[in-house]
Structure 1
Amino acid sequence: MQQHSRYIDLTTDYGFKRIFGRETNKDLLMSFLNELFQGRKVIKDLVYNKNEHSGDIPEQGAVIFDLTCTADDDSQFIIEVQRRHQELFKQRTIYYGAKLISDQAPKGHRSDWGYDITEVYVIAIMDGFHFSDKPDYLHDICLCHRKTGEIFYDKLGFIYLELLNFNKPEEQLTTDLERWLFVLKNMAKLDKLSPYLRKPIFEKLFSIAEYTRLNKEEKDMYDVSLKRKWDEYSLLTSAETRGIRQGLQQGLEQGLEQGIQQGIQQGIEQGRLNTLKENARNMLNRGFNVQLISEVLGLSVDEIKSLMN
């Protein structure tokens, strides 16, 4: 029987949608989004749009939420929340933002429209892959003057969250944004509500995020989503890339075509093994049992146990 952590992993697609994608829980999503905007926008209500759309091709993955938000000044703006990694990730988020603007144009020729564009924001939550080589965990992007940095247009924005770069322990959390990032990244590792998170919004979060609250069908869906997440980790890590480069360099130094090919292949194989071991360590740290890790990643039980030393 598989062992699960007490709380579901919020960085899985299913876990994120279950907690934040229900009308009864929209106060959780509003709280999280308001912390991301850090006072620039204050959401007093939001509507989950039904046109949750996928990319132009299946492997692009899907937008998690398409939202229409109402600010405290009664203005409205649109938010898309994305989680899954895609190739050319930055370009695709810009495409989604531009598409949300383009879709506002009335159908047919309307000379009286006047380009009255609603504000648009794209929010990307990245777990398991990096947006840039900088150590920042929050990238708040807007259109600005290249020379002076003066904001050129403030109604189109992109917020990228790199959870891999957020490493604060719970005792050092000072803001609600930090608390949200901590629970997003570490929920599946926790076994109780920490004293550092004792606020009504987080008490509600912890009360509804317990794995035992899922029915059998929901548990099956969650398990599939969890396995998909670890499969994505295996594909996204840079260990294989580093291995290929090392193998290519080794082959070039040997000066033989055969040596190049062998070096590349050795680098790929070593990179893949390093990736699997890195993922196994992460799963061990999150409380998964050895047998489950073996089934998901294809490593032997002995290989996994050796990582525990």
Structure 2
Amino acid sequence: MSELLDPRNDFLFKRIFGSEENKDVLLAFLNTTFVETGAQPLTEIILLNTYTDKDAPHDKQSILDIRGKTADGELINVEMQLFNKYETEKRTMFYWSKLYSGQLQESQPYKALKKCVTINILNYSILPNEQYHNVFHLREDRTGIPLIDDLELHFLELPKLGDQAVPIEGGGLVNWLLFLKGVDKSHWEVLTMNEPVLKKAMNTLEFLSQDAETRRLYEARQKYLHDEASLIDGAMTEGRNRGLIEGRAEGLKEGKIEGRAEGLIEGKVAAKIEMARELLSLGIDIAAIAKASGLTEDEIRNLKTS
């Protein structure tokens, strides 16, 4: 039997959770995520961008997240991130805002806007706590009263599971996350006793792992993700180093504390610009460069033409 593929690969993740025939798998996963925070379980999920053969893993335009709509019209976006593309928090807010504002058609009133939920499954840690599941809403700082319930962000950080043992009894989100993290197959039976629908996800993973064409596409996607992560990391390091050197030089030239501070600020900006230029020279697309550098897409286009 072929070695199991990694379900954290976004191409494979969408095939397991984002296909019409596995809609019940997605619904079960979402419900364990929501119920853990005290929310009511969903009764139905409508897939808005089901997996198709057009989701080619080497195509930069492929949409490999999963978008769904509840029976009440609320929108849910689920995304798997294998490598840290940096600026995860800002990237999350940017795509949440596009999902939210994209609901309104011309002349529609604001009351037509429905709640939007983003679920990020991260193969890296970004938040300064030990919780593997963090949820954010809009709340008043001192009293905690909600402003509006339309924003909900979930961050599921797989590394924070550590070497957590497989639960002997009891269902819940941790069973799904251990499956995604790649827990030894000898523990699968216990996981499915806790979460029966998880068995279908496991069967799908086994089936896909034995399919030659799927393995080829999976390996192409893995290579693309590794190459992109390496290019971004290398460009960030080089750009940061160049920018800080220039900033320190500017500050020392002024010979003042204010000059040094101003020089360091200019250095950080220069670092972003230098990083963006490095990524442009490597052929990375503008949207990916914006995510990595913190510059806007218009600023990057200006660099391209300057």
Compute the TM-score of the two structures, normalised by the length of structure 1: 0.63
Instruction: Report the AA paired with residue 26 of structure 1.
Output: K
- How big is each residue's C-alpha offset from its partner over 1:14-55, in whole Å with a ceiling of 9 and x where there is no partner? 220111111111111111111111141422222221499x9x
User: Residue 64 of structure 1 contacts residue 83 of structure 1 at CA under 8 Å; is this kept in 2?
Assistant: yes
Q: 1:228 & 1:197 partners in 2: Cα distance?
A: 32
Q: How much has 1:183 moved relative to structure 2?
A: 0.6
Compute the TM-score of the two structures, normalised by the length of structure 2: 0.64
* Residue 142 (structure 1) aligned with residue 137 (structure 2): yes
**Structure 2 residues not aligned, in runs of 5+:** 245-306
Q: 2:86 & 2:187 partners in 1: Cα distance?
A: 37
Flag the 1:207–1:148 CA change in 2: closer, same or farther, 3 A. Answer: same
The partner residue of 2:15 within 18, 22, 29 is 18
| SS of equivalent to 1:170 | coil
Q: 2:186 & 2:227 partners in 1: Cα distance?
A: 25
Flag the 1:237–1:193 CA change in 2: closer, same or farther, 3 A. Answer: farther
The partner residue of 2:158 within 154, 163, 181 is 163
Question: 2:215 maps to what in 1?
Answer: 219
Q: 1:148 & 1:140 partners in 2: Cα distance?
A: 18
Q: How much has 1:151 moved relative to structure 2?
A: 2.1
Q: 1:234 & 1:211 partners in 2: Cα distance?
A: 31
Question: 2:172 maps to what in 1?
Answer: 176
Q: How much has 1:152 moved relative to structure 2?
A: 2.0
User: Residue 48 of structure 1 contacts residue 66 of structure 1 at CA under 8 Å; is this kept in 2?
Assistant: yes
Q: 2:110 & 2:191 partners in 1: Cα distance?
A: 50
Question: 2:119 maps to what in 1?
Answer: 123
Q: 2:233 & 2:157 partners in 1: Cα distance?
A: 14
Q: 1:233 & 1:191 partners in 2: Cα distance?
A: 32
Instruction: Report the AA paired with residue 69 of structure 1.
Output: T
| SS of equivalent to 2:181 | helix
Question: 2:44 maps to what in 1?
Answer: 45
* Residue 66 (structure 1) aligned with residue 67 (structure 2): yes
Q: 2:175 & 2:50 partners in 1: Cα distance?
A: 31
Flag the 1:95–1:194 CA change in 2: closer, same or farther, 3 A. Answer: same
* Residue 101 (structure 1) aligned with residue 100 (structure 2): yes
Q: 1:182 & 1:69 partners in 2: Cα distance?
A: 26
| SS of equivalent to 1:157 | strand
Flag the 1:10–1:172 CA change in 2: closer, same or farther, 3 A. Answer: same
* Residue 86 (structure 1) aligned with residue 85 (structure 2): yes
- How big is each residue's C-alpha offset from its partner over 1:51-85, in whole Å with a ceiling of 9 and x where there is no partner? 99x9xxx9898451121122xxxx22101112234
Q: How much has 1:236 moved relative to structure 2?
A: 8.2
Q: 2:224 & 2:93 partners in 1: Cα distance?
A: 25
Instruction: Report the AA paired with residue 69 of structure 2.
Output: T
User: Residue 8 of structure 1 contacts residue 211 of structure 1 at CA under 8 Å; is this kept in 2?
Assistant: no
Greater shift in the superposed pair: 217-226 or 204-213: 204-213
Q: How much has 1:230 moved relative to structure 2?
A: 4.7
Flag the 1:211–1:229 CA change in 2: closer, same or farther, 3 A. Answer: farther
Instruction: Report the AA paired with residue 96 of structure 1.
Output: Y
**Structure 1 residues not aligned, in runs of 5+:** 249-309
- How big is each residue's C-alpha offset from its partner over 1:178-206, in whole Å with a ceiling of 9 and x where there is no partner? 1111111125x425633343243122222
Compute the RMSD of aligned alpha carbons: 3.4
| SS of equivalent to 2:104 | coil
Instruction: Report the AA paired with residue 156 of structure 1.
Output: L
In terms of fraction of residues, the more strand-rich structure is 1
* Residue 133 (structure 1) aligned with residue 134 (structure 2): no
